């Protein structure tokens, strides 16, 4: 069997154009422009690339984009002051603090100070609790993107066996909650899981989110299963020339693609969906803040 390749780049473009349509309508019908603020502390090169890309795509869908770039040695007090100002700003509907933060800043405290209604990352403890109890919340962007692709592939996820490999707060745990919300039978596997290959072999849906290059081989995959690869790992690529690097996922694409029913590639799978879902969440937050109906298909 050769797996269908799930094209996340094309999917994300569709999501962004849906968002752009809603944004245009909000402007014409209600004179509202959704605003997204991104706060970046320090000069981590990968974070700078993400933030630039977020800013560009935010403007492209017609939203108001604000960036706060703060020095690496910014104090917690000064960072919280920026967040409180954004919380109070009616032109801002979504706030994202780029992680990781420099070591001297307490991430839980910082995230905890974002107004939960504007927490477009879905990291605030009250959004985590709402998601866990099946209530309306802001949903973390990467798991939301994975869920959209799975729903699109399967239609209904009800009754399917899902294994999430990885238990991070950003991906693994919220992904498991979302799959449970769609009535999957969910297993969360992690570094202490016994007999991981057999656990994965039971799954109709495998979501790999551990951050370990190509750790899931094809012979762990049940024939026909759908494999969602959240990993983005940079590894040496001597076949491209000396010192060259390439991006790979947490899944060994070549062997899994021979067995799975469908699979997301890296790059071009889950990655582009994250920013598309950030924009979708910003739109959702804007609608909620203004008591307007939420966009269909762009929220859980
Ligand atoms: N750093 C890496 N991924 C993310 C994300 O989804 N949100 C935030 N805030 N920071 C990140």
Residues 214 and 92 in one domain: no
Work out which ligand 1 atom sits closest to the CA atom of 96: 9
Mean pLDDT of 40-55: 95
Cα dihedral 229, 234, 235, 239 in deg (nearest 10): 90
Q: What is the pLDDT of residues 243-254, one digit of tens each?
A: 999 999 999 999
* CATH at 62: 3.40.50.10860
- The structural domain count of the chain equals 2
139 CB near ligand 1 (under 6 Å): no
For 159-170, b where at least 16 C-beta lie within 10 A, e where not — what string?
Answer: ebbbbbbbbbeb
- CB of 18 sitting under 6 A from ligand 1: no
39, 80 Cβ separation under 8 angstroms: no
What residues have CB less than 8 Å from 25, skipping those under 6 apart?
A: none
Task: Examine the domain organization and report whether 260 and 183 are in the same domain.
Answer: yes
Range of the domain at 76: 27-118
Is-contact 35 93, C-beta < 8 A? yes
- The tokens of 95 are what? 């706030």
In terms of domains, do 180 and 83 share one?
Answer: no
**278 found inside a domain:** no
Statement: residue 1 has pLDDT above 90: no
List pLDDT tens digits, range 88-114.
999 999 999 999 999 999 999 999 999
Task: Determine the residue of 96, 123, 139 to mutate for testing ligand 1's pocket, defined as the one with the most ligand atoms within 8 A of the Cβ atom.
Answer: 96
pLDDT for residue 221: 98
Domain match, 268 and 181 both: yes
User: In ligand 1, which atom is closest to the CA atom of 99?
Assistant: 10
The answer to whether residues 87 and 31 belong to one domain is yes
| Average pLDDT over every residue of 29-36 | 98
What is the average pLDDT across 223-246? 97
Handedness of CA 15, 19, 22, 28 (dihedral sign): negative
What's the DSSP call for residue 299? -
Could you tell me the CATH number of the domain that includes residue 172?
Answer: 3.40.50.720
Looking at the structure, tell me whether residues 146 and 114 fall in a common domain.
no
Question: Residue range 134-159: average pLDDT?
Answer: 98
Task: Using DSSP bridges, classify how beta strands 245-248 and 233-236 pair: parallel, antiparallel or unpaired.
Answer: antiparallel
Compute the distance from residue 169 Cα to the ligand 1 centre, in Å: 11
* pLDDT mean over 278-287: 98
- Assess if residue 70 is contained within a domain: yes
Share of the chain above pLDDT 90, in %: 100
97 lines ligand 1 (CB under 6 A): yes
Residue 145 CA, ligand 1 centroid: distance in Å: 14
Average pLDDT rounded to a whole number, residues 136-153: 98
The last residue of one of the domains, among 51, 85, 118, is: 118
For residue 12 and ligand 1, the question of a CB distance below 6 A is answered with no
d(CA 110, CA 70): 14
Residues 112 and 147 in one domain: no
Q: Are 177 and 231 part of one and the same domain?
A: yes
CA quadruple 269, 95, 100, 128: dihedral positive or negative?
A: negative
């Amino acid at each position: 069997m050769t797996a269908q390749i799930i094209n996340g780049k094309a999917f994300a473009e569709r999501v962004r154009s849906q968002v752009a349509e809603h944004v245009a309508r909000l402007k014409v019908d209600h004179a509202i422009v959704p605003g997204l603020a991104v706060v970046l502390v320090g000069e981590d090169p990968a974070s700078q690339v993400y933030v630039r890309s977020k800013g560009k795509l935010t403007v492209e869908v017609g939203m108001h984009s604000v960036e706060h770039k703060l020095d690496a040695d910014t104090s917690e007090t000064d960072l919280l002051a920026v967040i409180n100002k954004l919380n109070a700003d009616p032109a801002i509907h979504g706030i994202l603090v780029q992680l990781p933060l420099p070591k001297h800043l307490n991430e839980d405290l910082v995230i905890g100070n974002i107004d939960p209604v504007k927490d477009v990352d879905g990291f605030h403890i009250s959004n985590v609790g709402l998601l866990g109890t099946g209530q309306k919340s802001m949903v973390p962007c990467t798991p939301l993107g994975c869920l959209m692709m799975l729903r699109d592939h399967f239609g209904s996820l009800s009754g399917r066996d899902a294994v999430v490999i990885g238990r991070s707060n950003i991906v693994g745990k919220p992904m498991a909650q979302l799959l449970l919300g769609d009535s999957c039978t969910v297993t969360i596997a992690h570094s202490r899981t016994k007999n991981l290959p057999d656990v994965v072999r039971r799954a109709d849906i495998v979501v790999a989110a551990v951050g370990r290059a190509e750790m899931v081989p094809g012979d762990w995959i049940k024939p026909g299963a759908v494999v969602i690869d959240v990993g983005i790992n940079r590894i040496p690529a001597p076949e491209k020339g000396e010192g060259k690097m390439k991006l790979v996922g947490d899944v060994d694409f070549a062997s899994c693609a021979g067995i799975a029913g469908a699979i997301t590639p890296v790059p071009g799978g889950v990655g582009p969906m994250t920013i598309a879902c950030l924009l979708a969440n910003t739109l959702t937050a804007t609608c909620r803040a203004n008591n307007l109906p939420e966009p269909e298909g762009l929220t859980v």
